Amino acid sequence: MNLKMTSVSWDKDALKSLRKLDKFERVRIFKKINLVLQNPNHYLEPLVNIDSYKLRIGDYRLFVDFFKEELIIRSIKHRKNAYKDK
């Protein structure tokens, strides 16, 4: 059996946001990421006009880039602020 492992990388901003969350939310995010690694096409939703994806986890949205063997987490935002322009 030849399984390819997908690696996960975190952007600085995403790590900073992750540290601010409570333990319950952090655990929830890590569990969902593990599910995504098993079946990315099921969980990742493409963003319109951008070559990137979003992942919904409760009240939070993770914005990620996904390549064949790498998941890059770019940012974590609360849903009320997730889609506002800076």
pLDDT at 51 over 80: yes
Number of Cβ within 10 Å of residue 76's Cβ equals 26
* Domains defined along the chain, listed by start: 7-78 (3.30.2310.20)
- The pLDDT > 90 percentage for the chain reads 70
* Averaged pLDDT, 51-77: 93
Residue 16 has phi, psi (to 5 degrees) of -60, -45
Query: What is the Cβ-side half-sphere exposure of residue 37, based on CA atoms within 13 angstroms?
Result: 18
* Averaged pLDDT, 36-58: 91
Task: Convert the pLDDT of each residue in 1-24 to its tens digit.
Answer: 444 567 999 999 999 999 999 999
Residue whose tokens read 């319109």: 48
pTM of the entire structure?
A: 0.85
pLDDT for residue 44: 94
Dihedral sign for Cα 65, 74, 42, 4, please.
Answer: positive
